[in-house]
Amino acid sequence: MDHGRRLAVFTLTAVLALVVASAFVSAVTPNGASVTEVRSETAPADAAGTDSAIAGNVSELSITAFATTQAWQGYFGNVSGTIQLADSSDNVLYNWSLANPAGEVYASTNSSISWTNMQCFNFTATGTYADESGNGGTTNLNGTNLSILESQFNINPGDVDGIDETFTLIGAGTHDLFYTANQQFSEGECRSTRVFGDTGAGVSNEFEEVLLYEPTTSSVVFASLLESGNVLGFDNNDYDFELLVPEDGHGTDTSVTTYYFFVELE
């Protein structure tokens, strides 16, 4: 199976731990999630069409075909977990099971994220990587920009399946308000996209994915806002999330990209 050209269905299990100490109260942050890959597949190749050639004729043809992206991996699935009250040794005082979890699924190529510094990704950031720690909940000004991110995955500026051709939405009505580690991101504040549901092209308030950035580790983070009800995904099955992440499958590249998954439950 070609890497970078797949859809993978995942089940993620996560716990939101609330730790309380007498001297301080810490922010609730996303936790690493246990990930189980249920299946992974790609679109089948179409059969070749035919036309009868006759000596002496010239024929105009209308040809329709598809090509599988060499720049993206798709994930989709469900999230199970609990909200719990526990100490720093993970001794549980009490927990609450979540039938319909709310929150976010995060994916990044970096396993260590400073969540309280999370920002919106900025296509036109300077790329100078000046210190922006302490600016969580704002938009990245100086870190990784569109050009740098696309070059990391061998995406050319004119590619129709590039980063900016995918995360086209920004402004009111494009993504819901959400919180990451107690940092608020207002409705439509960040670049976002809507992954397809059962009706095809992205529907408002369904399968919203937001493009984020964490400046202290220069980490690009892809965030899927969890669906809290029964929402039909692209294949007419119920899913809590659908998520796109870039992966270089261009030319002779056969290496894989490791993504780390985190979940913040509410």
Domain ranges of the chain: 7-41+69-265
Residue 194: which residues within 8 A CB-CB, separation 6 or more? 169, 201, 202, 203, 204, 206, 207, 208, 209
Q: Which of 42-56, 190-204, 212-226 has the highest mean pLDDT?
A: 212-226
* 193-212 mean pLDDT: 91
Q: Which residue has the higher pLDDT, 47 or 191?
A: 191
pLDDT in tens, 220-260: 999 999 998 779 999 999 999 999 999 999 999 889 999 99
What pLDDT sits at residue 82? 85
pLDDT in tens, 69-108: 999 999 999 998 888 898 989 899 999 887 788 899 999 9
Answer for the pair 27, 94: CB distance below 8 angstroms, yes or no: no
Give the E-state strand segments of the chain in sequence order: 7-18, 31-32, 34-41, 72-86, 92-97, 103-108, 119-120, 178-180, 183-185, 192-194, 208-214, 219-225, 241-246, 260-265
Residue 125 belongs to what H/E stretch? none
d(CA 161, CA 153): 12
Answer for the pair 224, 12: CB distance below 8 angstroms, yes or no: no
Mean of per-residue pLDDT scores for the chain = 89
108: helix, strand or coil = strand
Q: At CB < 8 A and 24+ separation, what contacts does 168-175 make?
A: 168/193, 169/193, 169/194, 173/204, 174/208, 175/208, 175/210, 175/225
What pLDDT sits at residue 22? 34
Q: How far is CA 203 from CA 7, 155, 172, 193, in A?
A: 20, 27, 15, 10
Q: Which residue has the higher pLDDT, 202 or 77?
A: 77
pLDDT band for position 3 (cuts 50, 70, 90): very low
- State how beta strands 103-108 and 92-97 pair: unpaired
pLDDT in tens, 91-102: 999 998 877 888
Q: How far is CA 69 from CA 8, 23, 56, 160, 247, in A?
A: 14, 52, 38, 10, 10
* 183-209 mean pLDDT: 93
CA dihedral 224, 114, 162, 197 (to 10 degrees): 0
Written as six digits, the tokens of 264 are: 């913040």
What pLDDT sits at residue 179? 96
Among the ranges given (95-99, 179-183, 207-211, 220-224), the one the predictor scored with the smallest mean pLDDT:
95-99
Q: How far is CA 65 from CA 48, 59, 68, 161, 172, in A?
A: 10, 19, 10, 16, 36
